[in-house]
Structure 1
Amino acid sequence: MPADISMGLALDVAAELGIPTVGLWPAAVLQLAVLLRVPKLIDDGLIDENGTPLMKHKMIQLSPMTPSIHPMNLVWLNIDDSPSTPKFMFDFQLRNYRVAETTNWVLCNSSLELELQGFKLVPKALPIGPFLATNRLGNFSGNFWPEDPTCLQWLDQQLPGSVIYVAFGSFIVFDQIQFQELALGLEITEKPFIWVVREDITKGKHHNYPKWLNERVGNQCRIVSWAPQAAVLGHSSIACFISHCGWNSTMEGVSNGVPFLCWPYFADQFLNESYISDIWKIGLKLQKDEGGIIRKEEIKSKVEQLVGDENFKTRAIELKQMVTKSVGDGGSSDKVFKNFVQWLKS
């Protein structure tokens, strides 16, 4: 029986009935490895039994060639601002993810080329990804917002490798100060950009910056409420991706050979940022000021640094070629998946 590992109860019931179980893990396999090593983190004195860091400045690294994790970026500490959330999420995740130790296999949306060391830490994890929207059979209707495909026509009018794509997923909400700094930062890059601006992307009163921005920059920008992201990232005019670094967005960017500017907000996004900037070296981190704001000057500077250094694009293309090969016929993920199918049939 296959089920998302976050649905631990379903897998527990299947195991009690003697039904073989297979977990599905949609994030980086290293994130699963961190959760499975919580007892060791406690024994080593890095966190207490509630998941609270005891050594708040000692980086956590599970093995060489895996990202170092700041203890304050552990996933259960970065869900929301409620003081009760970290303990609740810590207990919830441990209860659910312990089932990963009892499942027969865990299917992962990743590949050996991306996370070789991570898969060594979780031997029963099977790399069968990346799963991509472009590989779906038939139409997919699972978007939170209706897509605006007209932005693709606008992209057709732009020069190759010239456009900044800006998207932060379905849940991130900006305060007005940060939203304005982002708008100003995009303007002063003097580069064309597509910006996905959901209706609920800011706190409080609905923003009016996109209208103001359109008046200032004209055809330099295209603002949409939701974009066909896979098609946008695969377009030849895209230069880079300013992203929250959710795993799905990360896999889509990697699979299209697009460099990243990393803007993580919560949960596993900080780990993904470390993969992008520190391990794969296909992107840069954006730095906040003392007030916790990413200023317009920082955005402009990092965009110029990213698109001005061909090494980022070269490495991104090389990584794209590796993951494309992995899911192709005879590739590493393809072989793992076919072996898994044979196991199901046996």
Structure 2
Amino acid sequence: MPFRLVCVLPVLTLVVAATAHAQSLNSGECISDLDALAPYMLANDAGSADYVAQRGRASFDAALATARTTAAAAPNDQACLKVLRNYLRSAFRRSHLSLRQIDPTVPNAVRASAGAPSFRLLSRQTALIIIPTFADQAGAAIEALIKEHAKDIAQRPNLLVDVRANGGGSDWTYKPLLALAEANIRRDVGAQIWATPANAAASRAACDVFAPLSQQCRDRMRQEAEAIDRAPAGTFIAQPGERPLEIVEPRDVVPHPRRIGVLVDKGCASTCEEFLIAMRQSFKVKLFGQSSTGSLDYSNLRPWTLPSGKRRLMYATTRSLRLPEFAVDLAGIPPDQVLPTPRGAEDRERELAQVQRVLESARQ
């Protein structure tokens, strides 16, 4: 199973910098950052060459020329940030690619704003698990929640798992949920790392930005950087300790519900989408709601600070081995049953009730 680090915000491209005031901009500074972006992305981002090939070099060059004109007139850092973000979206892609202002007054860490996982009994037939995030720090809580309520889950034929607005995190965190869905052979498809010296350096710096207190992160990133160091530059290599394709045999280690409904929306991204792909392979799982974000084909974000030192790029260093046959980024992962997009808290609760009704209507 691929280790995915990190996407704990629903749409990283649109994240607003923490600084509340616009700073003055040195002449030419914005253009220097812009001019550094294109060669860095083409050399190190795992998906950039694919996107440029799809759209054509002329379109790519035109996007850069337009951005240079706008960057030259940027009056402050916030205006420059907007120019650079627009350029990344127009020249490359919208998902798993972001740029943010570096605020020296806050620690170098990505904070997940989503809450803790929770459990509810909806009826004598159906239990509910709500998973707002698969962020690294949520893994222990998810495992503990399932252990605490194992008896309640086992006594009911139906389980509803709500992953709406779950922006992702690390794949290992959802393994306890996969155990509840085991019913048949599952096929887990991995990803390959784009090996460059810059990506090795970015892997070594990743935990300082993403998870400074996680030893698991540091161990994993050290292995990854060492593997990249050993590889020829400009090649795709296997992720350390992982297989390109893993055939997972079903086990019977926990009491299983007979039917599982997964409630999803457009906020389910990255690792959350990997979770959907794994879960829906089970014969007893159905997806409900709306299509997911579409942010999975190019993944495993790593940081790079632009020449100005004021802005940090987050870019993808892996490409899924599902490509090109099974692309997720184009339209997301569709549900088995489509539900209207909820407009507020009451609609969200009605969505839960609708899925519960479907589960409890099953004849067997």
Greater relative contact order (CA < 8 Å, ≥ 6 in sequence): 2
Normalised by the length of structure 1, the TM-score is 0.31
The structure carrying a bigger helix percent of its residues is: 1
The structure carrying a bigger strand percent of its residues is: 2
